[in-house]
Amino acid sequence: MATPRADISVTSLAFESDEVIPTEYTADGRNVSPPLKWESVPAGARSLALVCEDPDAPKGLFVHWVAYNLPADARELTEGVSAKEETLPDGTTQGTNGFGKLGYGGPSPPPGKPHRYEFHLYALDRKIDLPAGATREQLRAAMKDHVLGEGELTGRYGRTGI
């Protein structure tokens, strides 16, 4: 029987859960990552992983950010995490997003109904042995059977016309 996963509380000073992501964190603004905070990381966590994805994209799920090997004792990511660094000073490793680039790529949906952007944070019982630039699929495979807890923050963003 699987061990129940702990719930991690994920928040942002930039937007509330299920509310609009401010333009500055999108492709229409500064295109920088929003500040994120979390608490209730389960004991025994050795690292954290973050995936931001848009499940409403026209061609199916679209990945906006992949990051792994965040320190287990970290409790936030500040605004504007560098998208130029494969590995951040604290050891966080960045993967490749759906734009084919490293780091965060902000929301840029087609005009119409707002899309959901889900920031998933995972507490893992080990560090991930993947090189920088790994994809969401590679990260998910490496995380299999190693997730101790998870949390999610969802924001929304839409364009009425371009």
Q: What pLDDT digit, counting tens, does each position of 44-68 carry?
A: 999 999 999 999 999 999 999 999 9
Whole-angstrom CA distances from 49 to 7, 13, 24, 100 are 14, 20, 24, 19
Q: What is the mean pLDDT of residues 141-156?
A: 97
Residue 40 predicted with pLDDT over 80: yes
**CATH homologous superfamily for the domain 6-157:** PEBP-like (3.90.280.10)
First-to-last C-alpha distance (Å) of the chain = 51
Residue 43 CA neighbour count, 13 Å, CB half: 0
pLDDT of residue 162: 53
Residue 81 predicted with pLDDT over 70: yes
Q: Note the helical H segments in the chain.
A: 136-143
* Bridge partners, 85 (sequence order): none
Residue 4 predicted with pLDDT over 70: no
pLDDT of residue 2: 47
pLDDT of residue 58: 94
Nearest CA to 137 out of 68, 39, 40 is that of: 68
